[in-house]
Homo-oligomer: A and B are copies of this chain.
Amino acid sequence: MRFMPEIVQLMTDLDGIDEKILQELSRDGRISNLALADRVGLSPSACLRRVAALEKAGVIKGYRAVLSPEKTGVGFTAYVMVGLNAHTKQAQEAFERAMSHAPEVRECHNITGNVEYLLRIEAADLAAYKHFHTEVLGTLPQVNAITSYVVMGSPKDERA
């Protein structure tokens, strides 16, 4: 490649009001524009224009409802370190494709260290996790090493 693939603007210019808007929308993604405008000290129309601009610029990627894992049938969470046996682009792509299709995989991070990937797995229970472990991870030819860390609790969790 001749230039760096994508030199994107890493931090959009955000003033104090923008930051307050983002803070409020992180806290309550369904706040009405009227209430939001009030909280940040702007008129509704000015506020709405800023929110629209933040969405358009990709600063706000979307809005999501935060669900209770226990109450939606997720009783088992684990982080899993996965090492591949080949460090080729093909092996990585094949593995990532498999992860993207597995519903138990909520996150797949490419990390530094002795293994390549860190996964967050959410399943109904230990049996469902075992199924994923053996039937999915265990059958992928690229996978070399699997280490599971079962989540016993999360004293802090500010996941978006």
CA distance A59 to B69 in the complex (A): 8
Stretch at the interface among A23-31, A37-45, A132-140: A23-31
Known: A57-B71, A70-B11, A149-B112. A26 touches B64 (CB 8 A): yes
Contact between chains at A67 and B72 (CB < 8 Å) = no
Contact between chains at B118 and A72 (CB < 8 Å) = no
Q: Say whether A65 faces chain B, with CB atoms less than 8 Å apart.
A: yes
Known: A25-B65, A107-B159, A156-B96. A71 touches B11 (CB 8 A): yes
Q: Say whether A5 faces chain B, with CB atoms less than 8 Å apart.
A: no
Residues of A within 8 A of B (CB): 8-12, 14, 22, 25-30, 57-68, 70-73, 75, 79, 96, 99-100, 105-113, 118, 147, 149-160
10 tightest Cβ-Cβ pairs between the two chains A and B: A29-B63, A25-B65, A108-B156, A159-B159, A111-B149, A96-B155, A30-B63, A110-B153, A112-B150, A61-B66
